[in-house]
Amino acid sequence: MANLKKMLAASGGAIAAVAGLPARADWSLLNMPEGVSELSQEIYGLHMMVLWVCVVIAVFTFGAMIYAMVKFRKSKGAVADTSMVHSTRMEIAWTIVPVFILIGMAIPSVETLIKIEDTSGSELTVKVTGYQWFWQYEYLDKGVSFYSRLAQTSNETRQLGSGKDPNAVDNYLLDVDNPLVVPTGTKVRILLTANDVIHAWWVPDLGMKRDAIPGFINEMWISVDEDKPGTYRGQCAELCGRDHGFMPVVVVAKPKAEFEAWLAGRQAAQQAAAGTATTAAVDTLAGQAVTLAKAE
Amino acid sequence: MAQHEHAAEHADHDGKPQGIRRWLTTTNHKDIGTMYLVFSLAMFLIGGLFAMVIRAELFQPGLQFVDPGFFNQMTTMHALVMVFGAVMPATVGLANWMIPMQIGAPDMALPRMNLFSFWLLFFAFMLLLSTLFLPGGAPASGWTLYPPLVLQTGDAFPVAVFAVHLMGASSIMGSINVIVTIMNMRAPGMSLLKMPLFSWSWLITAYLLIGVMPVLAGGVTMLLTDHFFATSFFNPAGGGDPVLFQHVFWFFGHPEVYIMILPAFGIVSEILQTFSRKPIFGYETMVYAIASIGFLSFIVWAHHMFTVGMPLAGQMFFTLSTMLIAIPTGVKVFNWTATMWRGSISFEPPMLFAIAFLFLFTIGGFSGLMLAIAPADFQYHDTYFVVAHFHYVLVPGAVFAIMAAVYYWLPKWTGHMYDMKLATFHFWMSTIFVNVLFFPQHFLGLAGMPRRIPDYATQFADWNMVSSIGAFGFGLSQLLFVYIIVKAARGGEKATAQVWDQPTGLEWTVPSPAPYHTFDTAPEVK
């Protein structure tokens, strides 16, 4: 019954949205975000180029099909030209022309790919570990490490039969307790691994997604534009079990000075809790040993 | 008594046992074809039901109906049932019915193996569906079965692996049968390059199946030994590599995509020429295009895995090889368009579905080309954009082609014309709703919605609701399909031998319904 009421309310909301009344949801979300990093903007450019090439080809092919369907109808008295069964010239043409179009698309793709794979010259390295179902961020050589889980409000609301309205939660399912903080205008190398199953770390505005695989370390880099500090949200993108949909990725990009201040504060806090931290580390190791034993 | 039965058998000259025994013991290609098709339709409805659960949960944000774990079981089972239970058996059923009739053979070459492969498939699915009732539920790792996640499956795990083995054995036997039949049993004068394109497409499909089903069987066997016999093929703690499974799986999985779509290419080619009243444009090019797509399908598998962290050279190779597929596929689309060009087109239900295939499959092809671009794939991968892409090639692609085939050959099978008006209505409902269902999923994916999630951020709410409405509409429309088929099987206007206006092919030279035994004496093909 409660479900029915909620559904009625939701469909009312949908009708309101269609009618152009103010609504929370956004109908303008139709395309890939341009993003806030050099890579994401380059990827966006590639995406739009290929999209437009497809649109142009579609206009020609669909145009020809529609023309044929309108012009050569039996009901309009069209008589089939049964001698038109083969044309080497035409067939060579529509084999060769696409080859050139594809080469035109391949060159910029490969260029971007080379740039994406070049992780050299990074100024900061963060190791990201995926767990069922949260993330761990470790700032290598900085002595800062923490876990990042779905924010409590989202977590309560998302339970089956919680009776709470997701629309009332800010950034529903896209909010965490401890976001990853990075400096803007800095090439940050991200190392990815996982502790149990495969996860994938993805923030659309940063343009990159990469799998976090147990037993292996993947790498990628991100760099938020200097003039675009802010909070950027994404999700785990590789099915990782029951709560796969509930381990968001949140990145807060701060100007360099603010980042340094944040990092120093974090370091101090972590050192203060050093005693407890040692015990926690031992616990984690023990936990990992148990997991390994189970896996075997 | 025995004599009496013998006399009765002679009376209808086909010697088939009556009642249930006919279906359990038949070795007749038409009966087996019918069983495959009915089985496929049943699985299409069951798989569709799973999809309805998925779309009901995604109708609005928040969890309303199912637990996230059960949601994952639904996405996994939906895919397994639709791929292995609905689409593949439907094309095998069509092959059983039509290949012997198209090439002038009296039956399939290996009739007992034919029956065996059907019953293997049947029990494979009884096993697979039974996993829903086992402790821990059905597999919930996605149909891709990636370890280590798949190893967390409950009691269903070995059952599902065994079901996959049975399906693989069934497919391999079916393929051997198709190849042996086509290579040995063509009527005199039916050279390979005179063979109808549906038979051609199946010949190549059969080779793909034989190439990749054993690879899948090997992959899932390694999962089994990792789980139960302490091997470490995919376990990094023992020196294994989880990504190795993905390579093995997609070496099977990509050709599998073409296994589902190549017979559809054959069907669409046959229907377009019949209803354009003009032979297919560039017959030989069409054959070569299917063959090159078949070959390329073996060297593009890792484009499903751009995000696993392959070396740069690997990413470049798989980007470029995948883009190459656009060339033979483009040739096919252009040749189909040229087949309609200067034809005399009429719009019976099979033609309507074939034309919808032409448009909507091409849209799926375009998004496929976009996905081939590795850098852009880092954004598209594992989002609803991918879901939209493969549903466009599989639903208004493969499934529409199968529906077109049913509407094309149903009068030949049953001897009755079906309700054309209702079938046209079924076409429009399906075509409108399939687009309402899948087109918005492109937007969702580009805007950042990952696939395989039971709940989503509120900015995705509107398009999800639209998509779900499309899903319910599409699902309901398929009940019409069942009704039309049942009605035609039970009676209706008598179909002529030709059924349509001047169709080409040997199947149209025998009466409708096709007699139990056709071409006992091989026809002469000029």
| pLDDT tens column, B351-396 | 999 999 999 999 999 999 999 999 999 999 999 999 999 999 999 9
Pairing status of strand A230-235 against strand A180-183: unpaired
Residues of B with Cβ-Cβ distance to A11 under 8 angstroms? 465
From A50, A169, A239, residue closest to B369, measured CB to CB: A50
Does the distance separating the beta carbons of B345 and A72 come in below 8 Å?
yes
Q: Is B484 helix (H, G, I), strand (E, B) or coil?
A: helix
pLDDT digits (tens, 9 = 90+) for B246-287: 999 999 999 999 999 999 999 999 999 999 999 999 999 999
Does the distance separating the beta carbons of A167 and B458 come in below 8 Å?
yes
Q: How far from the centroid of its chain's Cα atoms is residue B163's Cα?
A: 18
Is a pLDDT exceeding 80 seen at residue A281? no
Substitution target from A209, A222, A291 for chain B, most B beta carbons within 10 A: A209
User: What pLDDT, on a 0 to 100 scale, did the predictor assign at position B515?
Assistant: 93
| Beta bridge pairs of residue B209 | none
Q: What is the mean pLDDT of residues B156-182?
A: 97
ω into A133 cis (within 30 of 0): yes
Do the beta carbons of residue A29 and residue B459 sit within 8 Å? Answer: yes
Dist. CA B497–CA B504, nearest whole Å: 12
| Closest chain A residue to the Cα of B240, Cα to Cα | A215
| Closest chain A residue to the Cα of B444, Cα to Cα | A30
DSSP annotation of B149 reads G
Q: b/e map of B328-360 (b: 16 or more CB within 10 Å)?
A: bbbbbbbbbbbbbbbbbbbebbbbbbbbbbbbb
Active-site residue B342, yes or no? no
B 51-90 residues with CB below 8 A of A? 59-69, 72
Q: In this structure, how many other beta carbons lie within 10 angstroms of the beta carbon of residue A272?
A: 10
Does the distance separating the beta carbons of B355 and A50 come in below 8 Å?
no
CA-to-CA separations, B17 to A138, A274, B10, B167, B337, in angstroms, rounded: 73, 83, 12, 28, 47
Does the distance separating the beta carbons of A207 and B309 come in below 8 Å?
no
What's the gap in Å between the CA of B335 and the closest CA on chain A? Answer: 8
Q: Is B309 on the interface with A (CB under 8 A)?
A: yes
Block residue for tokens 């034989």:
B210
Dist. CA B203–CA B178, nearest whole Å: 7
Substitution target from B225, B335, B379, B500 for chain A, most A beta carbons within 10 A: B379
Dist. CA B201–CA B195, nearest whole Å: 10
Confidence of residue B14 (pLDDT cuts 50, 70, 90): low
| Closest chain A residue to the Cα of B58, Cα to Cα | A7
Dist. CA A172–CA A154, nearest whole Å: 5
Query: CA B108, B114, B117 angle in degrees (round to 5)?
Result: 155
Reduced DSSP (H G I as helix, E B as strand, rest coil) percent helix, strand, coil of chain A, to 5:
45, 20, 30
Encoded tokens for A172: 């529903």
From B309, B330, B462, residue closest to A27, measured CB to CB: B462
pLDDT digits (tens, 9 = 90+) for B29-40: 999 999 999 999
Q: What is the mean pLDDT of residues B331-344?
A: 95
| Cα Rg of chain A, angstroms | 26
Encoded tokens for B22: 């006919």
pLDDT digits (tens, 9 = 90+) for B56-87: 999 999 999 999 999 999 999 999 999 999 99
What contacts B5, CB < 8 A, 6 or more positions away?
none
Q: What is the mean pLDDT of residues B213-229?
A: 96
What is the average pLDDT score of chain B?
Answer: 94
Q: Which residue out of B170, B322, B430, B512 is catalytically annotated?
A: B170
Is a pLDDT exceeding 80 seen at residue B3? no
Does the distance separating the beta carbons of B65 and A296 come in below 8 Å?
no
User: What pLDDT, on a 0 to 100 scale, did the predictor assign at position B524?
Assistant: 87
Is a pLDDT exceeding 80 seen at residue B434? yes
Q: Which residue out of B31, B57, B107, B377 is catalytically annotated?
A: B107
User: What pLDDT, on a 0 to 100 scale, did the predictor assign at position B198?
Assistant: 97
| Element housing B446 (H / E) | helix B420-446
From A84, A213, A234, residue closest to B342, measured CB to CB: A84
Substitution target from B373, B387, B464 for chain A, most A beta carbons within 10 A: B373
Dist. CA A78–CA B390, nearest whole Å: 36
User: What pLDDT, on a 0 to 100 scale, did the predictor assign at position A23?
Assistant: 42
Q: Is B483 on the interface with A (CB under 8 A)?
A: no
Substitution target from B53, B57, B58, B60 for chain A, most A beta carbons within 10 A: B60
Confidence of residue A26 (pLDDT cuts 50, 70, 90): low
Q: b/e map of B36-63 (b: 16 or more CB within 10 Å)?
A: bbebbbbbbbbbbebbbbbbbbbbbbbb
Dist. CA A117–CA A20, nearest whole Å: 44
Q: Is A140 helix (H, G, I), strand (E, B) or coil?
A: coil
User: What pLDDT, on a 0 to 100 scale, did the predictor assign at position A151?
Assistant: 95
Dist. CA B386–CA B366, nearest whole Å: 12
The whole model's pTM is what? 0.91
| Closest chain B residue to the Cα of A4, Cα to Cα | B64
User: What pLDDT, on a 0 to 100 scale, did the predictor assign at position A85?
Assistant: 87
What is the average pLDDT score of chain A?
Answer: 87
Dist. CA B27–CA B246, nearest whole Å: 38
Is a pLDDT exceeding 90 seen at residue B21? no
Dist. CA B103–CA A267, nearest whole Å: 77
Q: Which residue has the higher pLDDT, A261 or A293?
A: A261
Q: Is B505 on the interface with A (CB under 8 A)?
A: no
User: What pLDDT, on a 0 to 100 scale, did the predictor assign at position A13?
Assistant: 44
Helices B242-276 + B283-296 axis angle, to 10: 170
Q: CA-based diameter of chain B, in Å?
A: 76
Confidence of residue B307 (pLDDT cuts 50, 70, 90): very high
CB–CB contacts below 8 A, A to B: 320
| Beta bridge pairs of residue A137 | A128, A146
Q: Which residue out of B30, B186, B227, B332 is catalytically annotated?
A: B332
User: What pLDDT, on a 0 to 100 scale, did the predictor assign at position A162?
Assistant: 87
User: What pLDDT, on a 0 to 100 scale, did the predictor assign at position A271?
Assistant: 87
What's the gap in Å between the CA of B200 and the closest CA on chain A? Answer: 18
Does the distance separating the beta carbons of A209 and B345 come in below 8 Å?
no
ω into B148 cis (within 30 of 0): yes
Residues of B with Cβ-Cβ distance to A86 under 8 angstroms? 281-284
Residues of B with Cβ-Cβ distance to A164 under 8 angstroms? 62
Do the beta carbons of residue B404 and residue B271 sit within 8 Å? Answer: yes
Query: CA A14, A19, A22 angle in degrees (round to 5)?
Result: 75
Confidence of residue A211 (pLDDT cuts 50, 70, 90): very high
Q: CA-based diameter of chain A, in Å?
A: 90
Does the distance separating the beta carbons of A10 and B465 come in below 8 Å?
yes
Active-site residue B517, yes or no? no
What is the SS3 assignment for B330-394?
HHHHHHHHHHHCCCCECCCHHHHHHHHHHHHHHHHHHHHHHHHCHHHHHHHCCEHHHHHHHHHHH
Q: What is the mean pLDDT of residues A58-63?
A: 96
User: What pLDDT, on a 0 to 100 scale, did the predictor assign at position B1?
Assistant: 37
User: What pLDDT, on a 0 to 100 scale, did the predictor assign at position A15?
Assistant: 45
Block residue for tokens 């034993």:
A293
From B242, B320, B451, residue closest to A214, measured CB to CB: B242
DSSP annotation of A224 reads B
Instruction: Order across the sheet with A188-194: list the strands.
Output: A144-148, A134-139, A124-131, A188-194, A218-222
CA-to-CA separations, A254 to A126, A147, A160, A223, in angstroms, rounded: 15, 19, 36, 12
User: What pLDDT, on a 0 to 100 scale, did the predictor assign at position B511?
Assistant: 93
Q: Is B333 on the interface with A (CB under 8 A)?
A: yes
Is a pLDDT exceeding 70 seen at residue B344? yes
Does the distance separating the beta carbons of B323 and A105 come in below 8 Å?
yes
pLDDT digits (tens, 9 = 90+) for A176-193: 999 999 999 999 999 999
Does the distance separating the beta carbons of B378 and A215 come in below 8 Å?
no
Q: Which residue out of B322, B329, B362, B367 is catalytically annotated?
A: B329
Confidence of residue A289 (pLDDT cuts 50, 70, 90): low
Confidence of residue A28 (pLDDT cuts 50, 70, 90): low
Q: In this structure, how many other beta carbons lie within 10 angstroms of the beta carbon of residue B479?
A: 12
Pairing status of strand A188-194 against strand A124-131: parallel
CA-to-CA separations, A52 to A93, B324, B326, B387, B450, in angstroms, rounded: 21, 19, 16, 21, 24
User: What pLDDT, on a 0 to 100 scale, did the predictor assign at position A21?
Assistant: 40
Closest by alpha carbon to B268, among B182, B332, B193?
A: B332
Tell me which amino acid residue B276 is. S
Encoded tokens for A150: 């779905």
Complex ipTM, two decimals? 0.90
Active-site residue B303, yes or no? yes
Substitution target from A87, A198, A199 for chain B, most B beta carbons within 10 A: A198
CA-to-CA separations, A281 to A134, A295, B237, B363, in angstroms, rounded: 17, 21, 20, 52
Q: Is B190 helix (H, G, I), strand (E, B) or coil?
A: coil
Tell me which amino acid residue B196 is. P
What's the gap in Å between the CA of A259 and the closest CA on chain B? Answer: 27
Encoded tokens for B519: 């071409």
Encoded tokens for A282: 């031992």
Do the beta carbons of residue B420 and residue B380 sit within 8 Å? Answer: no
Does the distance separating the beta carbons of B327 and A99 come in below 8 Å?
yes
Q: Is B460 on the interface with A (CB under 8 A)?
A: yes
The percent of residues above 90 in pLDDT, for chain A, comes to 74
User: What pLDDT, on a 0 to 100 scale, did the predictor assign at position B46?
Assistant: 97
Q: Is A127 helix (H, G, I), strand (E, B) or coil?
A: strand
| Element housing A183 (H / E) | strand A180-183
Active-site residue B171, yes or no? yes
Pairing status of strand A188-194 against strand A218-222: antiparallel
ω into B513 cis (within 30 of 0): yes
| Closest chain A residue to the Cα of B62, Cα to Cα | A158
Per-residue DSSP letters for A239-271? --STTGGG-EEEEEEE-HHHHHHHHHHHHHHHH
Do the beta carbons of residue A217 and residue A259 sit within 8 Å? Answer: no
pLDDT digits (tens, 9 = 90+) for B435-467: 999 999 999 999 999 999 999 999 999 999 999
The percent of residues above 70 in pLDDT, for chain A, comes to 83
